């Protein structure tokens, strides 16, 4: 007989006559030996099987059971194949199931279940196919060490997975490499399909940013046919791939200094059949040896991509210019004094209106901060372009896109900045609006 997933499950039970079932249950409950995850089962010969925790029962418990029952009761141990889950365990959430299973594991090994252990269980996790990625704030108690390696099998199976990994803090360095340890399984490679694109990566080496989905969809909707794009922070290809596959960019130069992310990016380009339209530049993008080739540059690094701005200006086409997509975390604390640059009449008007009406809602304050930040960036990029090319450029805010809020009052936004040398700005601005598909708005 086979259980779910083609596997048979065997548990141990105390078998006794029907009239002694209640007595036996009370004894097992009192000594915390009854396995509540499975139902008491009637065997073909009419005897009753009461599931127990752990793999055996001490001789002492068996004797005590017999002595306290009627003298002619039989109490023996037997193995039960594919036990029926109890109603309680069928109706519970994965987190409750995990708690039940671990309690059984701990008590089955003769230890005491405690509030400290219960508090130390994970409340959320990421599912990557059959691999479950736990947060760093779980399984920190020293006691869990005593239960390894069986512990991880129990956790994975309770949560419906086969491999298990646990996250540490994202290291503050530029690679944003997560410290992820594989607890169960042979490797950390996983696959995701996102908007028709296949992404594979090793969870112990690279991160997958689920929070970027809105921006990935927006990128996918852009019309970039015939364009050359430079992706300065390519990672495993979060934006490189939608630019190539959905936005139809002709060619992408993808910069990435982390070899693990670059290896995943190569696999992803191959998986999606676009490897011949991308060149991976492994190394620090500030040393990139490209000049005046890009119609578009993506700067997908938070909290700030400012260190990449000079490179972005260098790779932008000198003759026609192009568009920069600049990611940034903008802060907008409620008490913050709003001071828009004098160049922004519209912004100042809006700010005055908000002040006068006394309706400076957090959303309004945030929008004004985004505008203020975008204008400062436009001015800074304009100055960089002038310095690099020795002639003035027009920088125009096309759009500021919110991506994700990091409470409190920190928003990941993307600025679409149109940059044209003055000599061709009339023609260039028109192209920008066509290719981005949206007018200048915040
Ligand atoms: C946050 S990930 C980018 C992924 C994607 N843009 C996102 O936001 O989800 C940033 C990537 O940029 C890479 N990176 C950071 N600084 C870099 C630099 N100076 N040169 C090349 N790659 C860099 C990191 O290794 C990392 O893979």
- Closest protein CA for atom 8 of ligand 1: 300
Tell me which residue has its CA closest to atom 15 in ligand 1. Answer: 174
Pocket test for ligand 1, best of 173, 301, 307, 328 (most atoms within 8 A of CB): 301
- E-assigned strands of 176-310? 178-184, 189-194, 197-202, 228-231, 251-256, 278-282, 296-299
Classified as helix, coil or strand, 24 is helix
Q: Where are the domains of the chain?
A: 4-86, 92-186, 208-436
Can you tell me the ipTM of this complex? 0.94
* CA of 323 relative to ligand 1 center, distance in Å: 19
Residue 288 CA, ligand 1 centroid: distance in Å: 14
Tokens of 303: 């909290």
Token pair recorded at residue 194 = 């996102």
Q: Do domains 4-86 and 208-436 have the same CATH topology?
A: no
Tens-digit pLDDT profile for residues 164-196: 999 876 655 555 555 899 999 999 999 998 889
Q: What DSSP designation does 424 have?
A: G
383 sits in which H/E element = helix 362-389
If residue 118 lies in a helix (H) or strand (E), which one and from where to where?
A: helix 115-119
Check if the beta carbon of residue 182 is closer than 8 Å to that of residue 204: yes
Looking at residue 44, what is its pLDDT?
87
Architecture of domain 92-186: 2-Layer Sandwich (3.30)
Which atom of ligand 1 is found nearest the CA of 284?
A: 20
Q: How far is the CA of 210 from the centre of ligand 1 (A)?
A: 15
Neighbours of 221 (CB within 10 A): 13
The CATH number of the structural domain formed by 208-436 is 3.40.50.150
Q: Tens-of-pLDDT digits for all 442 residues of the chain?
A: 333 344 567 888 999 888 888 888 988 888 888 888 889 988 888 899 999 887 777 888 888 887 776 567 788 888 888 888 888 777 788 888 899 899 989 988 888 899 999 999 998 899 899 999 998 889 999 999 989 878 999 999 999 899 999 987 665 555 555 589 999 999 999 999 888 999 999 999 987 777 678 898 999 999 999 999 999 999 999 999 999 999 999 999 999 999 999 999 999 999 999 999 999 999 999 999 999 999 999 999 999 999 999 999 999 999 999 999 999 999 987 655 544 444 556 656 665 665 555 567 778 888 899 999 999 999 999 999 999 999 999 999 999 999 988 767 899 999 999 999 987 545 444 343 333 223 333 3
C-alpha 226 – ligand 1 centre gap (Å): 25
| Ligand 1 touching residue 286 (CB < 6 A) | yes
HSE at residue 203, side-chain half, CA atoms within 13 A, is 29
User: Could you tell me if the CB of 113 is within 6 A of ligand 1?
Assistant: no
Domain 4-86 in CATH 1.10.1240.10? The answer is: no
Among 201, 230, 257, residue to substitute to test ligand 1 (most atoms within 8 Å of Cβ): 257
Atom of ligand 1 nearest to the CA of 235: 27
């Amino acid at each position: 007989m086979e259980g779910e997933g083609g596997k048979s499950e065997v548990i141990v039970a105390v078998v006794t006559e029907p009239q002694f079932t209640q007595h036996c249950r009370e004894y097992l409950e009192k000594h915390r030996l009854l396995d509540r995850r499975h139902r008491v089962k009637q065997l073909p010969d009419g005897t009753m099987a009461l599931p127990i925790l752990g793999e055996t029962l001490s001789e002492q418990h068996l004797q005590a059971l017999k002595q306290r029952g009627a003298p002619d009761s039989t109490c023996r141990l037997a193995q039960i194949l594919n036990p029926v889950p109890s109603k309680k365990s069928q109706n519970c959430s994965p987190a409750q199931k995990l708690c039940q299973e671990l309690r059984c594991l701990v008590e089955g090994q003769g230890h005491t279940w405690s509030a400290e252990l219960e508090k130390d269980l994970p409340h959320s996790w990421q599912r990557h196919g059959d691999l479950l990625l736990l947060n760093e704030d779980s399984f920190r108690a020293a006691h869990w060490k005593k239960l390894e390696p069986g512990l991880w099998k129990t956790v994975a199976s309770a949560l419906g997975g086969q491999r298990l990994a646990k996250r540490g803090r994202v290291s503050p360095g530029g690679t944003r490499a997560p410290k992820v340890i594989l607890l169960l399984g042979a490797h950390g490679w996983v696959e995701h399909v996102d908007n028709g694109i296949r992404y594979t990566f090793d969870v112990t080496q690279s991160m997958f940013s689920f929070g970027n989905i809105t921006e990935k969809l927006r990128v996918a909707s852009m019309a970039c046919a015939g364009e050359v794009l430079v992706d300065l922070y390519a990672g495993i290809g979060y934006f490189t791939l939608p630019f190539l596959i959905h936005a139809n960019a002709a060619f992408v130069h993808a910069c990435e200094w982390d070899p693990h992310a670059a290896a995943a990016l190569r696999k992803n380009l191959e998986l999606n059949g676009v490897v011949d339209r991308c060149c991976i530049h492994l190394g620090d993008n500030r040393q990139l040896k490209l000049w005046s080739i890009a119609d578009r540059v993506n700067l997908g690094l938070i909290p700030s991509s400012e260190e990449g701005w000079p490179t972005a200006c260098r790779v932008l086409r000198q003759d026609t210019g192009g568009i920069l997509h600049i990611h940034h975390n903008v802060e907008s604390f409620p008490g913050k004094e709003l001071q828009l640059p004098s160049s922004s009449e519209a912004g100042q008007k809006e700010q005055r209106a908000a002040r006068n009406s006394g309706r400076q809602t957090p959303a309004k304050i945030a929008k004004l901060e985004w505008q203020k930040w975008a204008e400062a960036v436009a001015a800074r990029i304009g100055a960089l372009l002038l310095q690099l090319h020795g002639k003035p450029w027009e920088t125009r805010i096309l759009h500021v896109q919110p991506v994700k809020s990091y409470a409190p009052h920190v928003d990941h936004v993307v600025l679409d900045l149109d940059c044209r040398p003055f000599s061709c700005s009339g023609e260039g601005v028109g192209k920008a609006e066509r290719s981005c598909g949206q007018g200048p708005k915040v």
